[in-house]
C-alpha cells in the first residue's frame, strides 16, 4: 500500500506564474466513514494539476473512488463508483469554508481530497431502481405495517344528539296528540 504524499512544495511553482505540477496518485485515506456511509477501502485516485495563479495556488482536475452506503429501501450496501471534478484554491490567508491554507510554502491536498470525497457520498441510494424493499422472507412487509382497521361505525352517535333527537320526537308526538 503506497501512501502517496499529497503535500506539494509551491516554491518552484511560484517562481513563474503558469508553472504547473501534476499530482497523479492512488492513495488510501484513513477515516473515510460517515455513519454507515464510506469510501470503499478509503481508496481514491487523484489526477490534479497544481499551478500558481494570481488568486493563489489553484488545484484542478478530478478524483475518483467507490462510495458505499445502505440502500434506502432494503438497507443492503450499495457500492457506486464516483468521479468528482475538482477546482480548489489555496491562499496564504484562506477564507473559511472557501479556500485552503498555504503553510510553510507547501499545500496539503489530503484534507481537500477527504472532504470532497465524503461530500460526494450518496445520502440515500437505491441498490436497484426497482428495489422492492426489505427481504420479503426475513422482513415481511405485512407484519411491519399496521393492519388497516375498518372504520368502526359510519358515524358514531353522539349521546347528546341522541337525547335531542328523542326529545324532538316526543315533542312532535305530543303536538300531534293535542
Residues that bind Zn ion (CB under 5 A): 71, 73-74, 127, 131
Taking only Cα atoms into account, the Rg of the chain, rounded to an integer number of angstroms, comes to: 33
User: Taking the CB of residue 3, how many other CB atoms lie within 10 A of it?
Assistant: 10
User: Taking the CB of residue 152, how many other CB atoms lie within 10 A of it?
Assistant: 6
Nearer to Zn ion, 58 or 74 (CB): 74
CB of 66 to Zn ion, least distance (A): 17
Reported as type and span, the H/E element at residue 162 is helix 159-177
C-alpha cell at 173: 308526538
CB of 56 to Zn ion, least distance (A): 44
CB under 8 Å to 117, separation ≥6 — which residues? 29, 32, 39, 44, 63, 65, 84
CB of 33 to Zn ion, least distance (A): 20
CB of 104 to Zn ion, least distance (A): 48
How far apart are the C-alpha atoms of 125 and 49, rounded to whole Å?
31
CB of 117 to Zn ion, least distance (A): 23
Nearer to Zn ion, 58 or 71 (CB): 71
- 123: phi then psi, degrees, rounded to nearest 5: -80, -45
Amino acid at each position: 500500500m503506497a501512501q502517496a504524499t499529497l503535500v506539494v512544495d509551491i516554491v518552484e511553482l511560484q517562481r513563474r506564474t503558469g508553472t504547473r505540477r501534476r499530482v497523479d496518485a492512488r492513495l488510501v485515506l484513513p477515516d473515510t466513514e460517515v455513519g454507515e456511509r464510506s469510501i470503499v477501502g478509503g481508496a481514491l485516485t487523484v489526477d490534479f494539476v497544481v499551478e500558481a495563479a494570481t488568486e493563489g495556488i489553484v488545484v484542478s482536475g478530478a478524483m475518483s473512488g467507490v462510495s458505499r452506503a445502505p440502500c434506502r429501501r432494503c438497507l443492503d450496501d450499495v457500492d457506486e463508483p464516483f468521479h468528482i471534478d475538482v477546482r480548489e484554491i489555496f491562499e496564504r490567508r484562506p477564507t473559511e469554508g472557501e479556500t485552503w491554507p498555504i503553510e510553510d510554502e507547501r499545500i496539503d491536498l489530503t484534507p481537500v481530497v477527504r472532504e470532497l470525497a465524503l461530500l460526494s457520498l450518496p445520502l440515500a441510494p437505491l441498490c436497484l431502481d426497482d428495489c422492492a424493499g426489505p427481504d420479503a422472507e426475513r422482513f415481511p412487509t405485512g407484519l411491519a405495517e399496521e393492519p388497516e382497521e375498518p372504520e368502526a361505525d359510519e358515524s358514531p352517535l353522539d349521546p347528546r344528539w341522541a337525547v335531542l333527537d328523542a326529545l324532538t320526537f316526543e315533542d312532535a308526538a305530543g303536538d300531534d296528540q293535542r
